[in-house]
Structure formats: structure tokens, C-alpha cells
């Protein structure tokens, strides 16, 4: 296996979507409550069993990632159902898999609808090096969405949005375990979501969270903005945005939704209390209230702006510059009236982390 030859084809895709936003679409049950048809004209990267989505043909994804070794270790149960699903939907996709799958790809007739691409994990690579799929990449594949995020970096997409990334198992307890996706569990390929002990799961979750945080740090260092547009779920490492607000033209022609005024009033009260704590130097409790305010602000026809900016100030004062930069960029994207202030804060943050000359 010649790694350089397997990765060479990825050069033509480097920064091919520079400056365009991108959606990384998981398979969480929250997708059933979101209008995924809004993604038709967007750059999107889907994963795993997304071919089971009832609107897969209209969504028509270009990029697909499979990272679980079960796909090439048990191809009859895992990979071949994917191939049939793509063919039956009449899709044309660029499929990314780790180099461990190269023998399977060589032996499987994919036809003209699936163009295979490879990525190669190398434990010696880190976020201090550019993430470039024509070269080995960090071993951040504990969750397929981390691989999708690295692919979005390679494609040059910016900003980047997660959706359908519920990570419900992050909230499991020994007494509450549920395997949930947007599709019925009996429709998934045999063996997917293979069981592990609760203690093994906790280790896996910690690894996933570490890899996400490393990639968030990479995004902050390289000027990528990454947000979570999932409705609900447990992925709170990235700043939240309301998916529907990313499509103002579409939402403007829909029936006006009733505003949950109680939640917005609570969000404002939490924000006001947080500012008081922030001004008195009580940073940790201020951040806790701001996180709650952001959660109360999601999913309404109207929203209260400014929480991301105040969070950025709080995180900056705590010395958490990478997270502060992400929050400031979220404010810049979604709060245009405050862009001068958020730009000034971003410049200050850049100067704070820049190496001394």
C-alpha cells in the first residue's frame, strides 16, 4: 500500500470550497425536527447511514465519510448496504474512508456513482500542522464527525456547522441507555452501534471530547468558525446557533411562529445577572449563567442577541482565549449590529495569543 498514491487524489479538493459555509450532518434524532431540505444548495458532508433518510435524493450530498472499521471488517453487514443505498437513491458522491479500507475498495465494484477517496491517520501528526487530506492527518477518528470536521478544513469551508449531532450517549447513566438515530434502529445495518460496557463508553466519550477540543483549537488558530446547529443534544463544546436562522429567506415566507416569551424573558434575566457577576469579577458563575441564557435563546422565532459577545468577554478574562475567539466570531456572524465591537475583541484576542517578536 503506497500511502502517497492513495492520498494524491485529495490534492484537487484542497480549498475547493474556500469561503463557503458547510454543514456536517450526523444521524441524530434531532434531524426529524429540522427542515433538512434547506441544505439542498449547500456544501454538506454526511456520514454513516444517512442513505436511510427519506429525503436523501432531494438533499443530494456530495461528500460522505465512513470511519468505523466495521465497514471494512464486516462489509456484508456494513459497507455493502451503504453502496446499495447510494445506488438506489441515484446519488453521485465522493466517499472518504481511512486507508485501512483500501483492500475492500479494490475488491468492491462501486460503479460510477461512488468516487473513493482515502485519508490516513498518523499519531505523529498534530494540530500544529496543517490538516491536509493529501497528507496524513491526526488520529482524531473516535467519532466520525471529527473526521468530517477535518475534511471541511481540507475543503476550505468556513463557517462550518454541525447538525444532527445529538451525542445522546454523553448523557447516559448506568440505568439509562438508549440507541437513537433519526431512523428506526431496526433499519440500521447489523452490528452498527455495537455495544460496549458503560465504563468503556465513558473512556470513548472522553477521547471524543478531547479530539473535538483539539480541532476547535485548530479552528481558532487557523481562522475557522465552527458552530453547532443541532437542535438540543449534548454537544456543547461549540457555540450554539439556531439552524433556521441561517436561512432568513426561507424563514421569511413561513408562517410566523409563536415566540416563547417566557423563555426569552428568562434568557434576558440570566444575561443581566451574568453581567453583574462579570462586572464583580465572579467569572465562573457568570459563565454558567451565560451558558444557560444561550440554551434558553435557541429555537425561537425571535432571539436575544449579545450573549455570545458577553461570553467572549468572560472567557477572555478567564484566559480561555481559544474559546473566547470562537464566541466572538459567533457574535460577529449572528449579531451584525455589534460587529465593530466583536472585531475589536477578536483583534485583542489575536494579539493576546500571538507569539512575542
pLDDT tens, N- to C-terminus, the chain (357 residues): 799 999 999 999 999 999 899 999 999 999 988 899 999 999 999 999 999 999 999 999 999 999 999 999 989 988 999 999 999 999 999 999 999 999 999 999 998 999 999 999 999 999 999 999 999 999 999 999 999 999 999 999 999 999 999 998 888 887 766 656 656 555 556 555 456 788 888 999 999 999 999 999 999 889 899 999 999 889 988 888 888 888 876 644 444 344 455 566 777 788 888 888 888 888 988 888 888 888 777 655 566 788 889 999 999 999 998 888 888 888 888 788 888 888 989 988 888 765 543
Query: Nearest 5°: CA angle at 64, between 120 and 167?
Result: 90
Looking at the chain, the domain(s) classified CATH 1.25.40.10 span 257-345
Torsion from C-alpha of 100, 103, 106, 107, nearest 10 degrees:
-130
C-alpha–C-alpha distance, residues 160 and 258, integer Å:
29
Torsion from C-alpha of 44, 208, 66, 59, nearest 10 degrees:
-20
How many angstroms separate the Cα of 244 from the Cα of each of 33, 71, 97, 103? 11, 33, 31, 42
CATH code reported for the domain at 257-345:
1.25.40.10
Would you call 212 helix, strand, or coil by DSSP? helix
| pLDDT of res. 267 | 77
C-alpha–C-alpha distance, residues 21 and 194, integer Å:
33
Residue 149: count of CB within 10 angstroms of its CB: 28
Class of domain 3-245: alpha beta
Beta-sheet strand order (sheet of 93-98):
114-119, 93-98, 63-65, 43-47, 22-25, 160-163, 226-228
Looking at the chain, the domain(s) classified CATH 3.90.1480 span 3-245
pTM metric for this prediction: 0.71
**Sequence-ordered list of residues with C-beta below 8 angstroms from that of 355, at least 6 positions apart, any chain:** none
Amino acid at each position: 500500500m503506497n500511502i502517497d498514491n492513495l492520498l494524491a487524489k485529495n490534492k484537487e479538493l484542497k480549498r475547493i470550497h474556500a469561503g463557503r459555509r458547510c454543514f456536517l450532518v450526523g444521524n441524530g434524532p434531532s434531524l426529524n425536527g429540522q427542515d433538512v431540505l434547506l441544505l439542498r444548495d449547500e456544501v454538506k458532508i454526511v456520514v454513516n447511514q444517512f442513505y436511510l433518510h427519506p429525503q436523501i435524493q432531494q438533499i443530494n450530498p456530495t461528500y460522505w465519510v465512513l470511519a468505523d472499521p466495521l465497514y471494512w471488517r464486516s462489509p456484508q453487514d456494513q459497507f455493502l448496504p451503504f453502496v446499495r443505498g447510494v445506488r438506489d437513491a441515484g446519488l453521485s458522491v465522493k466517499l472518504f474512508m481511512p486507508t485501512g479500507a483500501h483492500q475492500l475498495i479494490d475488491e468492491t465494484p462501486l460503479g460510477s456513482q461512488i468516487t473513493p477517496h482515502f485519508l490516513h491517520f498518523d499519531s505523529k501528526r498534530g494540530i500544529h500542522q496543517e490538516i491536509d487530506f493529501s497528507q496524513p492527518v491526526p488520529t482524531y477518528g473516535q467519532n466520525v464527525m471529527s473526521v468530517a470536521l477535518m475534511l471541511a478544513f481540507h475543503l476550505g469551508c468556513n463557517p462550518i456547522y454541525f447538525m444532527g449531532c445529538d451525542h445522546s450517549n454523553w448523557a447516559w447513566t448506568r440505568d439509562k441507555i438508549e440507541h437513537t438515530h433519526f431512523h428506526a434502529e431496526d433499519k440500521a445495518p447489523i452490528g452498527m452501534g455495537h455495544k460496549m460496557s458503560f465504563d468503556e463508553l465513558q473512556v470513548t466519550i472522553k477521547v471524543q471530547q478531547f479530539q473535538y477540543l483539539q480541532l476547535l483549537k485548530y479552528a481558532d488558530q487557523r481562522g475557522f468558525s465552527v458552530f453547532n446547529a443541532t437542535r438540543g443534544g449534548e454537544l456543547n463544546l461549540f457555540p450554539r446557533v439556531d439552524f433556521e436562522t441561517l436561512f432568513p429567506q426561507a424563514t421569511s415566507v413561513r408562517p410566523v411562529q409563536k415566540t416563547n416569551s417566557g423563555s426569552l424573558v428568562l434568557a434576558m434575566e440570566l444575561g443581566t445577572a451574568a453581567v453583574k457577576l462579570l462586572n464583580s469579577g465572579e467569572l465562573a458563575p457568570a459563565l454558567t449563567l451565560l451558558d444557560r441564557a444561550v440554551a434558553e435563546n435557541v429555537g425561537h422565532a425571535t432571539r436575544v442577541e449579545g450573549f455570545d459577545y458577553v461570553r467572549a468577554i468572560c472567557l477572555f478574562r478567564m484566559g480561555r482565549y481559544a474559546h473566547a475567539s470562537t464566541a466572538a466570531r459567533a457574535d460577529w456572524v449572528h449579531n451584525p449590529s455589534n460587529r465593530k465591537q466583536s472585531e475589536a475583541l477578536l483583534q485583542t484576542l489575536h494579539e493576546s495569543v500571538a507569539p512575542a517578536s
